[in-house]
Structure 1
Amino acid sequence: MKNITISMDEDLAHRARVAAARAGKSVSKYLAEATRERIEADERAAADQERNRQLEALERIFAGPKWNVTENGRMPTADERNARR
């Protein structure tokens, strides 16, 4: 366990002490848990943002121009697709 020193205004320190007491925890434990929750929420938000960025990229690809690969209303066979023209 690592000890750190933090600074905060008196009003915030008082509110933190009261909130920790209501939760039945020390101020140290209360702030550590609050910090952990905030960091995990930020990490989840960053992961969600990256996932959304990737989904938006895929949506742009799929929304692009359509290729008409049918020939006479049917899909070409493997030999027809791979034929050198």
Structure 2
Amino acid sequence: MKNLTITLEEDLFAWARVEAAKRGQSLSRFVSQALADRRTPEVADQLAALSAFLDGPGWSGVSENLPRREELYDRPAVLRYEPAGLRHGSGGG
């Protein structure tokens, strides 16, 4: 940790000392926590924006619009053509 010397007006100093005492903290710890709390929303906002970007636009995926495999092979155009004069199985002769 680094040390920092700051100059405060009397009323601000008195208020900060009372607030620190209410929370059971030293004045130094209170000021340090106040600065950390002030910085945290910026980091949280940046993380939220990044998460929203990585989640994408919210549209359904391409695969949702595609037919399933069963639907593809169930269509008559894909089925094999069998001439009417042929029988199934081995005719032998």
Residue 29 (structure 1) aligns with: 29
Q: TM-score, normalised by structure 1?
A: 0.55
1:82 corresponding residue in structure 2 = none
More helix by share: 1
Bigger CA drift: 44-53 or 5-14? 5-14
Task: Identify the residue that residue 76 of structure 2 maps to in structure 1.
Answer: none
Question: Which ranges of 4 or more aligned residues in structure 1 deviate by more than 4 Å?
Answer: none
| Secondary structure class of the residue paired with 1:45 | helix
Distance 1:51 1:69, change over 3 A: closer
Identity within the alignment, %: 29
Measure, in 2, the Cα distance between the counterparts of 1:28 and 1:15: 13
Mapped to 1, the partners of 2:7 and 2:49 lie a distance apart of 32
Segments of structure 2 that go 5 or more residues without pairing to the other structure are 74-93
Q: CA RMSD in A?
A: 3.5
Aligned to 2:57: 58
Distance in 2 (CA, whole Å) between partners of 1:54 and 1:14 is 46
**3-state DSSP class of the match of 1:24?**
coil
Work out the number of aligned pairs and report it.
73
1:75 matched to 2:72? The reply is yes
SS in 1 for 2:72: coil
Q: CA deviation at 1:69?
A: 5.2
* Structure number with larger C-alpha Rg: 2
Per the normalisation by structure 2, the TM-score is 0.51
Matched, 1:16 2:16: yes
